[in-house]
Homo-oligomer: A and B are copies of this chain.
Amino acid sequence: MSTDPVRTVGDVGEGELIDLFAGPDAIDDTDAGVLIGPGDDAAVLAGGGPVVVSTDALVDGQHFRLDWSTPGQVGAKAIVANAADVMSMGGRVTGFVVSLTCPKDLRVDTLVGLRDGMRSAARRYGAQVVGGDLTTGNQLVIAVTAIGAMDSRSPVRLSTAREGDVLAVSGELGASGAGLDLLLAGVPGFTSLVTAHCEPSPHLSLAAGAASAGVHAMTDVSDGLLSELRTMARQSGHAMHVDPSRVPVVPELAAAAAALHTDPLRWVLGGGEDHELLASFPAGVVPVGWTAIGTVTRRGGGPPVVVTGIDDVDLDLGWRTF
């Protein structure tokens, strides 16, 4: 079908729009994990032990802007955020479904870009977009649900950090927060930071190795490091100590902080949407690819999160939806 850019969602029929997502090319039929793809009442995926499920929506103007990100980047980000939730449980992603609410003036080529970004990101996690729903509304809302299989593994909770554990992350933090601030300030350049915000590519493949290595607790950094540590502390009853100088950052972070006259620690500790993994390992077993950034100690009467070099930690620092 034509994807003439001047055409909008309101210009084309429902059937044609559905075909964009559920047409004959929607699914790679050689994928044995998809028993039934789009076109029926529901999709059916091959089972594999307990079923992991997570949902996360991106709202136009709230989580992305189409003048900052390409449609493909927005689609990919929606997939990555959901894959991170399944993989940080130690799950293997088996499929995604997508509920899209589209304004009638949304361009059809924007929809196609979103779709292609979702499809290619899903493939990076060994899965496909197997179903969805299209409706019209005032605002573009992309609600993705990721489905995963635990196979014979046990789910990795975020609540089960133990005293004496080593805290570690799977990659650099703060780049997404810096990219957002650069976009908000209209500062040009810093492509790697802006890209980290528009289309994060966290090291989620490290989750499987962490599970094999006996990780005690794991989550992904979606709301900022301090916010995630606070949650781990609250749920485990232990204290989380972190040394920010050990947290890996991309080289551009310092220059961006200088350009914006701010402290890069704000992004490292409070910046959200990096979606890297944060895990609590038994002492001595931090696997290759992970960077140790702190320890888990007995809570006692002290604060839940202790940051080296900062006396009074503002735990409310972090990504806020509301």
Interface on A for B, CB 8 Å cutoff?
9-10, 13-14, 17, 35-36, 39-57, 59, 62-63, 84-86, 88-89, 91, 94-95, 97-99, 101, 104, 130-139, 141, 143, 145-150, 155, 157-159, 219-220, 235, 320-322
How many whole Å from A160's CB to the nearest CB in chain B?
Answer: 10
Q: Is the CB of B99 within 8 A of A55?
A: yes
Select which of B54, B63, B88 is within 8 A of A135 by beta carbon. B63
Would you call A97 and B50 a contact (CB within 8 A)? no
Taking a contact as CB atoms under 8 Å apart, the answer to whether A139 and B136 are in contact is no
Q: Which residues of B contact A133 (CB under 8 A)?
A: 55-57, 143
Contact A157 B36 (CB under 8 A): yes
Which of B17, B43, B57, B88 sits near A53, CB closer than 8 Å?
A: B43
Q: Which residues of B are found within 8 Å of A43, using beta-carbon distances?
A: 52-54
The answer to whether B55 and A44 have CB atoms under 8 Å apart is no
Are B51's CB and A45's CB within 8 A? yes
Residues A45 and B53 in contact in the complex (CB < 8 Å), given A139-B139, A143-B133: yes
Question: For A14, A41, A51, A136, which residue has the most chain B Cβ atoms within 10 angstroms?
Answer: A41
Within 8 Å CB of A320, what residues of B? 14
A320 to chain B, nearest CB (A): 7
- Tell me, in angstroms, the Cα distance from A13 to B138 when the chains sit together: 25
* Contact flag A55-B141 (CB < 8 Å), given A150-B44, A321-B134, A322-B9: no
